[in-house]
Amino acid sequence: MRVALAQIDVTVGDIAGNAEKAIRAIAAAEAEGAGITLLPELVITGYPPEDLLFKEHFIEENLLALEQVSAVCGHFTLVGFVDRVDDALMNAVALCGNNRVLHIYHKRRLPNYGVFDEQRYFTPGEHAGLTEIGGALVATTICEDIWVPEIASEAAAAGAGLLLNVSASPFHAGNGVEREQMLRARARDNGMWLAYVNLVGGQDELVFDGRSLVVSPTGEVVARGAAFEEDLVIADFTPGAKLGASADLAPVLDGPAETYAALVTGLRDYVRKNGFSDVVIGLSGGIDSALTAVVASDAIGAEHVHGVTMPGRYSSAGSIEDSRRLAENLGIDFRELSIELAFAALLDTLEPSFDGRAADVTEENLQARIRGTLLMALSNKFGWLVLATGNKSELSVGYSTLYGDMVGGFAPLKDVFKTRVWELARWRNAQSPSPVIPEAILSKPPSAELRPGQLDQDTLPPYDVLDGILERYVEQDESIEAIVAAGYAPDVVARVVRMTDGAEYKRRQGPMGVKITPKAFGRDRRMPVTNRFGR
Amino acid sequence: MRVALAQIDVTVGDIAGNAEKAIRAIAAAEAEGAGITLLPELVITGYPPEDLLFKEHFIEENLLALEQVSAVCGHFTLVGFVDRVDDALMNAVALCGNNRVLHIYHKRRLPNYGVFDEQRYFTPGEHAGLTEIGGALVATTICEDIWVPEIASEAAAAGAGLLLNVSASPFHAGNGVEREQMLRARARDNGMWLAYVNLVGGQDELVFDGRSLVVSPTGEVVARGAAFEEDLVIADFTPGAKLGASADLAPVLDGPAETYAALVTGLRDYVRKNGFSDVVIGLSGGIDSALTAVVASDAIGAEHVHGVTMPGRYSSAGSIEDSRRLAENLGIDFRELSIELAFAALLDTLEPSFDGRAADVTEENLQARIRGTLLMALSNKFGWLVLATGNKSELSVGYSTLYGDMVGGFAPLKDVFKTRVWELARWRNAQSPSPVIPEAILSKPPSAELRPGQLDQDTLPPYDVLDGILERYVEQDESIEAIVAAGYAPDVVARVVRMTDGAEYKRRQGPMGVKITPKAFGRDRRMPVTNRFGR
């Protein structure tokens, strides 16, 4: 039996385009002599289609597209689509063959946690997806179905020797390895072959990482698809036998290389799928904007990246020079726009209202907002997408200016803690013959440079402490008491928690970014703004 | 039997404060001689608590608070809280009496549509909430349980003569009447008494409207709580008998009066519950900012409202004068800040980059962003909350400037179509001895005044046409074909749909506002930004 895993990158809502892509993948698998081809979950609509599912005509178009795709399926092929039974919608996969739909399976476990809202849309299936293919009993499942032990063991008990799973499983750092361990255990525990295909590519805040797998009944990985790239994985094996063969075994990707690839993919696909060609980035001379510019250059090409340094009265000479050197290293467009004229004009305009009050965060935010306004003006005039450069640490505690440095259509580092920003920057530097990010940018103490001598550390605890607390508070939902018990100073923890709760209103108005942790701000963490818990 | 419906306004996360409020309400009902008192759904935590539910210590505190509240319950009292059974959370109500918890009911129907995500958090209950109170069989239910016929009819079949429902049912225009009709039908169909308590007050984008009810077995409304205000509703009746008595029968509220009250409540509670005292509003001379200022004055008092006119080179003299007159009518603080200095400075700064290109939307947005920056500077300096003034029509089609006129912590008119803005303004004018909104503001053709002679109607279809299309597209999810079939011009519909889809990225970064329609932008309508459907 030759199995093909067609891990393709489709776009939400592009039903005609997705169907075409599916048809090309099926033809490629057919040319390879595949007996069964798997396409990712909801390949017809893209994943997740969200409230597009409430449009009746969206469902209709998806059903017509399934007909078109099934008509080209000479060999057995699994095609994900949205099924409708009476008024209920189902997350479904059609087993196609002989140029028609042979059998339909409805997903039984509908995830409704984390980034998932499937119970908002779908009714769960009630039946196992068992069919005979080439003399062997084969079980079809969809994504979440394989994450519980019951459905696989039920299939094994029924005599299935091969379990197929079509997924759209979003990335977070380290989950490639976790997922592989889970799938290997599932195959081994049930003594069955397992063929798993995963979607690939970015969709808003999610990145799907591919890495489709074929696992033998002894838990050996026989085939592995590429990470973050489209791939057609071919494997040969016989259900019942222990050994199989494949030439496709992409290397395991982990650590900073994995996270960096996710950032590049997420940014590239947001830019491309939303019809942009170029991006513009405010370069502050700091590490966040530097890493953002490098990720952008790797994602869409340096010739499509525009860097802008926007010095003000508190900017250090080093910051401008370091930004210029970074731009030269990358080979990106670079320009300088001073904020001084506009800053002076706004201070003059506001002077009667401010009525002699002392300078405070107001004047700092003014500078950041002029920079945001300048970037948006370039965006409006030239059609460039503005990238926000903020990281997860500052977004957590609100150490950022709404409508200022938070301006942007996309924020590549949104889910990257500051300590990880440094780690990724050093890792990326090590990948080039000479470092792209100047050492001065890596080693300088972080500063917003919005008042004389300002340093992040005047306001925030050291970043290793801050990130340790935030990981527990934001990602693990630990209480202040539990975080203190882990060894952090009570006053520091209390302050970080207070800042984090108080910054929810800012986060709501910030741009999307790539999810790379188990819990990202956005659809993953739904906190009320009006919230007096712990106050 | 004397029943008390304690429709109180609690705050999400304020567990100690909510418990205190519940205890005061129970004492007040006790003083009235109540035999049964109902408090709203999840009264201990506030509704909806969202991802606070994932914090273990949040659940613990809520359980401790329930103990405190139950200890003061001399008479039968229903107290909503979050129950935990093993690792599962339940949306629960405790029947308390004799100063302890007597019985716990778990909500059986968990809404997971529209603004609701209850299946993200809760496990559904499996048992009816039947108990004997004063010799009568009484059924306890929670919110959604009563919206399906089965649970009430099951209770009636078991012999219950009284059905209790504790709710947190969010407002949309007209739902007071709809809900009352449903509850009357439910009581009549099952020949049972029905006592329904609803939460009151604003929570982020939701407003709970109160209007608790006692309905007799013949479907008569015996008692009705106030709309949008706290109330303690008392009614006397005997399960089994047909007649009852109550002095509490608040008038039915409908039409513009109902919607206006919702806007006032939503804004007032956002301001108050988030610790603000004052708001600041950019007054453009148009109807949106005028109505926003009036709503704000009614919500928090004119002395806490600050109006700012920010003229630029394209502002009409009338706009400044009309704004000044509005401010005088309302008695709010009023100031003038010209955008000209800053506009000239930014144009100078950008001139080398723009390199002789023609003026376009860039220069329009620059003016709007200077205004946003000035409002935020006042906000930073004085701690005032900025109110955005945009309406649902312009937010739908993206006829607004991100980081410009979209700046703000709250947008009271976010869910109000432009045609309804006029309706509400005229209605509100008719409530005062002399109109608060000058007639010139009501009658002038809408204009952003960002280029010479600009009118909304240069870019958009007439607002009655636009709103008709948007209601079908945004709220009913109709296709272009269906909207055209309803009588709208195909090219206009196609353009409105394209603009609406293309503005999703702006809406994601806009402030929250009060939901007043069946489908508001926000948690109610979850569309992908990256979305090629229909393109």
Q: Min CA distance, B74 vs chain A (Å)?
A: 28
* C-alpha A60: how far from chain center: 29
**Tokens representing residue A440 in the block:** 């001065």
B464 lies within 8 A of chain A by CB: no
Do A12 and B346 lie within an 8 Å CB cutoff? Answer: no
**Tokens representing residue A130 in the block:** 């068992």
Q: Min CA distance, A525 vs chain B (Å)?
A: 7
Which positions ≥6 away from B99 have C-beta within 8 Å? B70, B71, B72, B73, B74
Do A55 and B370 lie within an 8 Å CB cutoff? Answer: no
pLDDT tens figures, A114-150: 999 999 999 999 999 999 998 899 999 999 999 999 9
Q: Min CA distance, B452 vs chain A (Å)?
A: 19
Do B50 and A528 lie within an 8 Å CB cutoff? Answer: yes
Residues A253 and A225 sit within 8 Å (Cβ to Cβ): no
Pairing mode of beta strands B244-245, B279-282: unpaired
For residue A218, pLDDT over 90 is answered with yes
What pLDDT does residue B466 have? 98
- Cα B349–B352–B356 angle (5° rounding)? 115
- Cα gap B141→B128, rounded to integer Å: 8
Could you give the residue ranges of the DSSP H alpha helices within A285-360? 287-300, 317-330, 340-354
- Cα gap B417→B463, rounded to integer Å: 9
In what side-by-side order are the strands of the sheet with A100-106? A100-106, A88-97, A76-85, A36-38, A2-7, A231-237, A244-245
A497 lies within 8 A of chain B by CB: no
What pLDDT does residue A269 have? 98
Tell me which chain A residues have a C-beta less than 8 angstroms from the C-beta of B14.
532-533, 535
What pLDDT does residue B267 have? 98
Q: Which of B341, B354, B381 sits opposite A381 (nearest CB)?
A: B354
Q: Min CA distance, A415 vs chain B (Å)?
A: 17
Place of tokens 């982990």: A254
For residue A468, pLDDT over 80 is answered with yes
pLDDT tens figures, A359-379: 999 999 999 999 999 999 999
- Cα gap B80→A47, rounded to integer Å: 37
The DSSP code sequence of B476-528 is: S---HHHHHHTT--HHHHHHHHHHHHHTHHHHHTSPB----SSS-SBTTB---
Q: Which of B54, B372, B529 sits opposite A477 (nearest CB)?
A: B54
pTM for this prediction: 0.97
Q: Which of B119, B350, B527 sits opposite A50 (nearest CB)?
A: B527
Do B481 and A57 lie within an 8 Å CB cutoff? Answer: yes
Under the banding of pLDDT at 50, 70 and 90, the label for residue A100 is: very high
For residue A173, pLDDT over 80 is answered with yes
B318 lies within 8 A of chain A by CB: no
What pLDDT does residue A97 have? 97
The whole-chain average pLDDT of chain A stands at: 97
The CATH superfamily label for domain B2-252 reads: Carbon-nitrogen hydrolase (3.60.110.10)
Handedness of CA B354, B357, B361, B366 (dihedral sign): positive
Tell me the CA distances in angstroms from B79 to A135, B25, B165, B236, one per residue in order: 60, 11, 11, 21
Place of tokens 């809502």: A13
Residue of chain B with shortest Cα separation from A377: B362
Instruction: For residue B404, give the DSSP letter.
Output: T
Do B361 and A380 lie within an 8 Å CB cutoff? Answer: yes
Is A491 exposed, middle or buried, given 0-12, 13-18 or 19+ CB atoms closer than 10 A?
A: exposed
Give the residue range(s) of CATH 3.40.50.620 domains in chain A. Answer: 260-508
Which CATH class, in words, describes the domain spanning A260-508?
Answer: alpha beta
What pLDDT does residue B535 have? 73
- Cα gap A103→A94, rounded to integer Å: 6
Q: Identify the bridge partners of residue B82 per DSSP, sorted by sequence position.
A: B91
Residue B452: CB atoms within 10 A of its CB come to 7
pLDDT tens figures, A269-295: 999 999 999 999 999 999 999 999 999
B260 lies within 8 A of chain A by CB: no
Do A377 and B366 lie within an 8 Å CB cutoff? Answer: yes
- Residue B112 one-letter amino acid: N
Residue of chain B with shortest Cα separation from A270: B530
Residue B71: CB atoms within 10 A of its CB come to 13
What pLDDT does residue A534 have? 86
B359 lies within 8 A of chain A by CB: no
Is B159 exposed, middle or buried, given 0-12, 13-18 or 19+ CB atoms closer than 10 A?
A: exposed
ipTM of predicted complex: 0.96
What pLDDT does residue A317 have? 87
A54 lies within 8 A of chain B by CB: yes
- Cα gap A346→B340, rounded to integer Å: 10
**Tokens representing residue B269 in the block:** 């509670």
A41 catalytic? Reply is yes
Q: Which of B353, B377, B511 sits opposite A509 (nearest CB)?
A: B511
Q: Which residues 178-237 on chain A approach chain B with CB closer than 8 angstroms?
A: 202-204
Which positions ≥6 away from B51 have C-beta within 8 Å? A477, A525, A526, A527
Q: Min CA distance, A54 vs chain B (Å)?
A: 7
Which positions ≥6 away from B294 have C-beta within 8 Å? B330, B425, B428, B436, B437
Instruction: For residue B11, give the DSSP letter.
Output: -
B362 lies within 8 A of chain A by CB: yes
Tell me the CA distances in angstroms from A214 to A162, A193, A222, A240, A247, one per residue in order: 10, 7, 5, 15, 12
Place of tokens 């008595």: B245
Residue of chain B with shortest Cα separation from A275: B530
Give the residue range(s) of CATH 3.40.50.620 domains in chain B. Answer: 258-460+503-508
- Cα gap A40→A38, rounded to integer Å: 7
Q: Which residues 374-393 on chain B approach chain A with CB closer than 8 angstroms?
A: 374, 376-378, 380-381
- Cα gap A404→A369, rounded to integer Å: 4
Tell me which chain A residues have a C-beta less than 8 angstroms from the C-beta of B354.
381
What is the rounded average pLDDT of the residues A517-529? Answer: 96
- Residue A129 one-letter amino acid: G
Do A13 and B532 lie within an 8 Å CB cutoff? Answer: yes
List chain B residues with pLDDT less than 70.
none
The CATH superfamily label for domain B258-460+503-508 reads: HUPs (3.40.50.620)
**Tokens representing residue B271 in the block:** 């301001």
Q: Min CA distance, B426 vs chain A (Å)?
A: 32
Top-confidence residue, A340 or B319: A340
Do B52 and A531 lie within an 8 Å CB cutoff? Answer: yes
Q: Say how many CB pairs under 8 Å bridge A and B.
A: 239
Give the residue range(s) of CATH 3.60.110.10 domains in chain A. Answer: 2-253
The CATH superfamily label for domain A2-253 reads: Carbon-nitrogen hydrolase (3.60.110.10)
pLDDT tens figures, A424-446: 999 999 999 999 999 999 999 99
Do B377 and A360 lie within an 8 Å CB cutoff? Answer: no
Tell me which chain A residues have a C-beta less than 8 angstroms from the C-beta of B479.
55-57
Residues in chain A: 535
Place of tokens 């966040």: A288
pLDDT tens figures, B148-206: 999 999 999 999 999 999 999 999 999 999 999 999 999 999 999 999 999 999 999 99
What pLDDT does residue B318 have? 87
B508 lies within 8 A of chain A by CB: yes
- Cα gap B26→B70, rounded to integer Å: 10
What pLDDT does residue B150 have? 97
